[in-house]
Structure 1
Amino acid sequence: MNEHKCLEPELSPTTWHGRHATEFQAIREGGIHTAFLEIAGAQFANVYSAIAAKIASLQAEIASIQQTIERLLAEEAAREKEEVKTSN
């Protein structure tokens, strides 16, 4: 969506021209624009995959902790029920 901003403003004979303008345009196209495309493409995909994997890992850890809590609560309830039986 913002890719075009890497190449703005457009250089023309009426705005800026000559050797420095040509060098500047080469930097924009070869350095800035290429880096932008790399970030928007491969690097973004890698980061997105890493974040998705971390989310899945955390969700699995949360589920495991919830199961542990449920097990401990069930054990506590069973112990309390047993204590009530033995005290009667």
Structure 2
Amino acid sequence: MDWFTGTAIFLTMWWVVLFCVLPIGVRSQEETGQIVAGTEPGAPVIANIKQKMLVTTGITVVIWCVFALIVTSGWVSLEHPFGRLTR
């Protein structure tokens, strides 16, 4: 796995993990009773985006390291993901 492939896989994993982490711990304006006039009642009161991005990065680093170990060990190959296709 070269650096470009590793970076592309890391970024893809990061976005997937981010979308999994985003809804955790979010409370809407409607749930807290603090609805601001002119806003969507389902909008979050405090989103904590910076904290969620840091958590996302940490989780992704762990997942990517496990993935990189599996690929570099030879258990899985990125060269022929479906095996050799012979006719």
Please confirm whether the aligned pair reaches a TM-score higher than 0.5, indicating the same fold.
Answer: no
Structure number with the higher helix fraction is 1
For the pair shown, which has the larger CA radius of gyration, 1 or 2?
A: 1
Q: Which has the higher contact order (CA 8 A, sep 6+)?
A: 2
TM-score range, shorter chain: 0.3 to 0.5
TM-score (norm 2): 0.34
